[in-house]
Structure 1
Amino acid sequence: MTDRRTLLLRPARLRPADLLSVGLVGLRTRRLRSALSALGISLGIAAVVAVTGISASNQAHLLDRLDRLGSNLITVTPGKDIDQTVVPLPEESVTMLGAITSVEKASATSDTKAAIYRTNLVPTNQTNGLSVRSARRDLLDTLRVGLRLGRWLDRGNEKLPVTVLGHRAAQALGVSEPGQNVWIERHEQEDRGEWYAVLGIMRPSELAPEIDESALIGSAQAAAHLDVQGGPSTVYVRARPDEVTEVQAIAGPTANPAAPNLVSVSRPSDLLKARAETEDTLSGLVLSLAAVALLVGGVGIANTMVVGVMERRGEVGLRRALGARQSQIAAQFLIEAVLLGLLGGLAGVVLGTTVVYGYAALQGWPAAVPITWATVGPAVSVAVGTVAGLYPALRAARLSPTGALRATG
């Protein structure tokens, strides 16, 4: 009795390198179509990286500016009682707040009933929203605001008719350099006006924007010639950075022990922090458009792969006739779709990063590209490519050898 041995034919297994080589065939032979298919995903990823990067750069810029200005400035202002009547701060409030152990400096401004004009021919009802304030000599150091031009109030000139203009006040009055004169008069007594020489022009005040719209007069000159309204209208307190919260808690009772609940205490730097942490509405819109671009890119890849399957039916039929398995055919087209998504994602990251660095350079910001999207972006594009290529790959795998060869015959 003879042994019968049967020869079992097994379909050859493609190595990963072979699958990759076969998957690249479509990309190499249809370069323009492949580039256009990956363009949608590329634009989507680029938009996401650019929007998040510009937002992060803006946040880094604001936080850097906040660090330079100091986040330890507290403002104390009069509150209102139940009848909405302003309860003024005592004259001693600045001294009492400055005596707190955790306070580095304290200064104040006081409102006046005066108005400032470029000339004495301007109608008194046109104030341009500018105010005249009495200022102490140590205000500049407390606010940490520099002078753009000229000099600040000192012991020698605080009794003279001179003024230091805030940044916006100088622009509104058309004053470009010190030495020019402006007209200041009381509202209630239009004939009681006087020319004041501009002593200096301040830089923009980030943490005290009301100073930008003010003309600052020496406290002695304001008390003698202008109607100063009661006590300090705003007290600026510079606390130790690690004890700001403690100073905020006791600032009200210290400034006005008789009515601590009628004192308003705020921290202007919180506004900048809120700006740094708030997402812009435009960012949400652009991110929505980025999602649409990813969807369109996925549809483009699916369309390209379906057309590719139809054009390459002869190749698929020949490979199936030579013994290629359905899984190998499906893997070939799926790899092609994944590569399209990966290339689109990588190109999108490069494009988005370039936009972030270019925009940050134009704005003078520190460029910040979120590592999360720079790494997740290609992964998302690969996922989109996989989903988009799944149906065309399965369709190619289901083609019968004879049907595919007959369709190309």
Structure 2
Amino acid sequence: MLQKKRLLMLPGDGVGPEIFSALKPVVAWLQSSMDLDVKEAVSGYNAYLAHGVTLPRDTLSLALDSDAVLFGAEDNEAFSTLHPAERPSSALLELRQKLGVFANLRPVRINPSLVSRSPLKPEIISGADFIVVRELLGGLYFGTPRGIETLPDGKRRGVDSLVYFSDEIERVARVAFELARSRRNKLCSVDKGNVLATGALWRDVVSSLGRSEYPDVELSHMYVDNCAMQLVRRPSQFDVIVTENTFGDILSDCAAMIPGSIGMLPSASLSQQDESGRRRGLYEPIHGSAPDIAGKNLANPIGTILSLAMALEHSLGTPELAKRLEQAVEEVLETGKRTSDLGGDGTSGTREMAQAIADRLQA
């Protein structure tokens, strides 16, 4: 008998709660299709208001006990009125650390019915289908020392440390090589090795791993500034891109405009494989909290729905349901249904789009 899978849903802040509320019929379809235990908990600014911390102990305990965590959004701007020393830690960063999710996958592909929505010309984006693999637990976001200090002469100085260890680079590169093997066998490693010592180490470790374990994968290297240019010049040249934390954050957001809206793109953050080959994962859309449209039924739920599909594939052991969910999204888009970020006429908001996808699944 198959073991019940456990999914934790963390709506968080901003547009997160209304998107998760709209997802209820999609989740109900999942529970009717597999043995799935679903729980919901608080995190982010809403958790801080209620509990004084952004990631309550009970929420973390549920996350550690789950196969997959679906995360909505975190509104860090809500803490901007507090002194930097008084601002609480990020729930999302703490979750990443505690869950040990080091490899962030951000797929980018263009739906044929949305070609006209991209700010890039159709002939440029034609055939674009790639994945950015971002290292998630190292680099500037976690390196020490860091902080802001006032010097004796009155000037203020901010310090961040860009730190990488060879084993951190190797484990995320291995995920990227394996992913390339399952696709078109091409991997582009992105760094800034001509300026940064960490970039030189990154290139050396990835090159060595490619020679010793993945000689069948076509490996290329690119500086990050050139990669940013190539993403808007000829994105179809890429299959899998692997890069460090900060570069991955920036490049994947840049790539989000290829399909026309940042609200379309999902992401998966994966841990090491267990004995069965599956990985525990943290899944989230990349659009952020978008507080300016929160509560207005305007947010695009597709990024979250496709993140759920990635959870089905990588952590919940049901790739066939993942494909069905992706297919339902494509079919609804092909009917011309659009949220406002995709040029919709205002009749299809968050709830309506999610319900249309759920209806397609039931059909």
Q: TM-score range by the shorter chain?
A: under 0.3
Q: Which has the higher contact order (CA 8 A, sep 6+)?
A: 1
Q: Which structure would you say has the larger Rg?
A: 1
Instruction: Give the helix-richer structure, 1 or 2.
Output: 1
TM-score (normalizing by structure 2): 0.25
